[in-house]
Copies of this chain bind each other. A is one copy, B any other.
Amino acid sequence: MKIFCTKDILLSGVNTVQKAVSSKNTLPILQGISIKGENNYLSFEATDLEIGIRCILPAQVVEEGTVVLPARLFSEIVRKLPDTTILLEQKSNVLNISYFESNISLKGYDPEEFPLLPDLYDPVSFNLPTFLFKNMVKQTIFSCSTEENRPVFTGVLLQIEEGVIKLVATDTHRLAYRTAKMDNNSEIKFSGIIPSKTLAEIYRLLKEEDELLEIQYSNSQIVFKFGAVYLISRLIDGQFPNYKQVIPQSCETKVHLPLRNFTEVVERASLLARDGSNNANIIRFNLENSVLRIDQTSELGRISEQMHVEMSGKAVSISFNSKYLLDVLKVLENEEIIFELSGSFSPGIIKPLNDPNYIYLVLPVRTS
C-alpha cells in the first residue's frame, strides 16, 4: 500500500466509522478500523458484528493494500497530524505514516481476520428525504427501553405498508408513533425492529447536505446508504407488541396547550416533586373550567401553577411521571399541542395540533 491523502480525509473516515468499533474485549480484531486503498479512494470500515459502517473517500492511491489498525490510538494520532499531505505505506501488518521529516509506525492486525461487511442478497430498496427520516427518529427513539432483558423494546419498529412508513418505540410506560407518506412506493411492505443504537448512529451521521437516504432491507438486516456512508445493521428478533390496540380512538377530555409555556410549567413543578425513593417526579394535574392547575407540596416548599387553557369535555385529575412528559415536549416543534385524557387511570395522548403524523401515549401514575 502506498497512498497520499490529507489529514481531513483520514479524520472524516475515522470519525464516521468509529462508533461501530466494538467496545467489548471479545474479539481483538473488532477493535480495529480497516483501511483499504483501492482505485482512487480510501475505504474505512468498522464493525462490532451488530452494526457495520463503511465510508469511502477520495485519495491518491499509488499502490493498493489493506491494513487494520487499533481504532482508538489511530484516531488519536489522526487528530494530532499536521495539516499537510500524509503518506501511508504498509508493510505486512504495519502502517507507516509520514509527514514533513517525521513518521509514525503503527502495529496493526491481520486484515484477513477482519469480517467483511456483507451486501444484502436481493434487497428491497427505497429512498427517503434525509430531513424527514432524522425528524422521525428524533421523535421516537427516546421512548425505547434501555433494559436488555426485553430486546424488542430496545429497538424502534419500522413498518411500511400501503405507501406509509411508520416508526414506533415503547418501553411499556409510553409509546411514540410517527408516520409519513412515501412517494411512489405503495407496493413495498416491511416490518422490522431496528436497534436504537443503529438509529442513533444514523441520526449522528446524517448531514443536511445528504439530501436522500437509501434504505435497503432483507429479512434479518437493514442497510442505510447516504453520502459516503454505507451502514448495515442486524434487526432485532421478536414480536413487537400490537401498538394499534393500545392507542385510544376517543377521549373524554381534550386540552389545547401552548408547547413552551406548558413545558416550563412541568419543569418547574417537577423541581418540587422529587420523590427521593425512586427518582420519579410525579406531578398531579387538575383540569376543570378551562384552567390547568398543579398544586404540589414537598418538604422543600410548595408550588401552585395555574394556566388558562382551551379545553372541552369532562374535568379530570391525573398524575404523570414528569420525565415522560418532558421527553416528548422537547422533540415537538409545533407551537401548540393537544392533550387527550379519559379519566385518571387511562393513558394520556399528546399530539401536535393539526398534525396527524405523530402520537405519543403515556400511562398515568396511580396516586392515592
- A contact set with B: CB distance below 8 Å: 70, 73, 76-77, 80-82, 94, 100-107, 261, 264-265, 267-268, 271-272, 299-308
30 pairs, A vs B, C-beta closer than 8 Å: A70-B300, A73-B271, A73-B301, A77-B268, A77-B271, A80-B267, A80-B268, A80-B271, A81-B268, A82-B264, A101-B306, A101-B308, A102-B265, A102-B303, A102-B304, A102-B305, A102-B306, A103-B303, A104-B268, A104-B272, A104-B301, A104-B303, A104-B304, A105-B301, A105-B303, A106-B300, A106-B301, A107-B299, A107-B300, A107-B301
How far does the alpha carbon of A206 sit from the alpha carbon of B313 in the complex, in Å? 56
Most buried by B among A105, A265, A308: A105
How far does the alpha carbon of A303 sit from the alpha carbon of B98 in the complex, in Å? 10
How far apart are A284's CB and chain B's nearest CB, in angstroms?
A: 15
CB pair B73 A300 closer than 8 Å: yes
How far apart are A357's CB and chain B's nearest CB, in angstroms?
A: 30
In this complex, what residue of B is CB-closest to A104?
B303
Which residues from B are CB-within-8-Å of A264? 80, 82
Which residues from B are CB-within-8-Å of A302? 104-105
How far apart are A241's CB and chain B's nearest CB, in angstroms?
A: 35
Which residues from B are CB-within-8-Å of A105? 301-303
Which residues from B are CB-within-8-Å of A103? 303-304
Which residues from B are CB-within-8-Å of A303? 102-105
How far apart are A274's CB and chain B's nearest CB, in angstroms?
A: 9
Which residues from B are CB-within-8-Å of A304? 102-104
How far does the alpha carbon of A1 sit from the alpha carbon of B151 in the complex, in Å? 57
3 A-B pairs closest in CB distance: A106-B301, A101-B306, A102-B305
CB pair A307 B101 closer than 8 Å: yes
How far apart are A343's CB and chain B's nearest CB, in angstroms?
A: 26
Which residues from B are CB-within-8-Å of A101? 306-308
How far apart are A348's CB and chain B's nearest CB, in angstroms?
A: 21
How far apart are A104's CB and chain B's nearest CB, in angstroms?
A: 5
Which residues from B are CB-within-8-Å of A272? 104
How far does the alpha carbon of A264 sit from the alpha carbon of B81 in the complex, in Å? 8
Which residues from B are CB-within-8-Å of A107? 299-301
Most buried by B among A76, A80, A81, A299: A80
